[in-house]
Amino acid sequence: MALRLGDTAPNFTADTTAGKLDFYEYLGDGWGILFSHPADYTPVCTTELGTVAKLKDEFTKRNTKVMALSVDGVESHKGWISDINETQSTNVNFPIIGDEDRKVSELYDMIHPNSNENFTVRSVFVIGNDKKIKLIITYPASTGRNFEELLRVIDSLQLTANYSVATPANWKQGEDVVIAPAIKDEDIPAKFPKGHKVIKPYLRTTPQPDL
């Protein structure tokens, strides 16, 4: 059965470019991103992995670790990393799983026969510090992922996990947020001392509470 939001992310042990790793141990008490790419030495994926490497400090700020995967082997990954580093002017600084037996790919339903039964599709899983799946996105092979958007989503997920708010369309760090409908009007001043606006009875906003 396919994984859904709120499911516990399956744990696994796998060979990676950083040695054999237990996924839960790698994540520790932090958040994680697990993402797959169709194959090594492919053009779009080369730009994607280079982009992720450049964003390492941003992921670290959010207590988030990254792990990539394809059904190619670790030795293939290591050769490809040299190309990524050269062409993207970076250093790949996260593990890539060699999943030749498709164990992890099948665990996370990353192989879609309607696309190509020999390749993992471009799936992304954001996993919370409670090991629950918070986000699932699958991209077509022709479309590179927007990792700035994934950072935005992690910001939203981490904020809304700790406060009774939601983030509106196109929200970014520092912008106003939406007060959860379950919060009664009379309770808002105590919970959100920065003030709030009532746009409609069901649409109430407040400045981002953790800033």
Q: What is the pLDDT of residues 102-146, one digit of tens each?
A: 899 989 988 866 555 556 668 999 999 999 999 999 888 888 999
Predicted local distance difference test score (pLDDT) of residue 38: 86
Are residues 32 and 94 both part of a single domain? yes
Q: Which residues have a catalytic role annotated?
A: 45
74: phi then psi, degrees, rounded to nearest 5: -60, -40
Predicted structure pTM score: 0.92
Are residues 95 and 171 both part of a single domain? no
Who's near 19: CB < 8 A, 6+ residues apart? none
Q: Give dist(CA 29, CA 27) in Å, integer.
A: 6
Are residues 128 and 31 both part of a single domain? yes
| CATH code, domain with 135 | 3.40.30.10
Are residues 105 and 131 both part of a single domain? yes
Residue 195 inside a domain? The answer is yes
Mean pLDDT value across the chain:
94
Are residues 102 and 192 both part of a single domain? no
| CATH code, domain with 196 | 3.30.1020.10
CA distances from 131 to 25, 32, 75, 127, 187 (A): 11, 9, 29, 6, 31
Residue 168 inside a domain? The answer is yes
Are residues 25 and 125 both part of a single domain? yes
Are residues 138 and 177 both part of a single domain? no
What is the domain extent for residue 57?
13-145
Block mean pLDDT (10 aa), the chain, length 211: 91 98 98 94 95 97 96 95 97 96 91 60 92 94 91 97 97 97 96 96 97 92
Q: Give dist(CA 138, CA 114) in Å, integer.
A: 13
189 three-class SS: helix
Are residues 39 and 130 both part of a single domain? yes
Residue 90 inside a domain? The answer is yes
Residue 176 inside a domain? The answer is yes
Q: What is the pLDDT of residues 174-185, one digit of tens each?
A: 999 999 999 999
Predicted local distance difference test score (pLDDT) of residue 114: 56
Residue 6 inside a domain? The answer is no
Residue 122 inside a domain? The answer is yes
Are residues 43 and 92 both part of a single domain? yes
The domain total for the chain is 2
Q: Give dist(CA 52, CA 133) in Å, integer.
A: 20
Are residues 101 and 189 both part of a single domain? no
Residue 154 inside a domain? The answer is no
Residue 78 inside a domain? The answer is yes
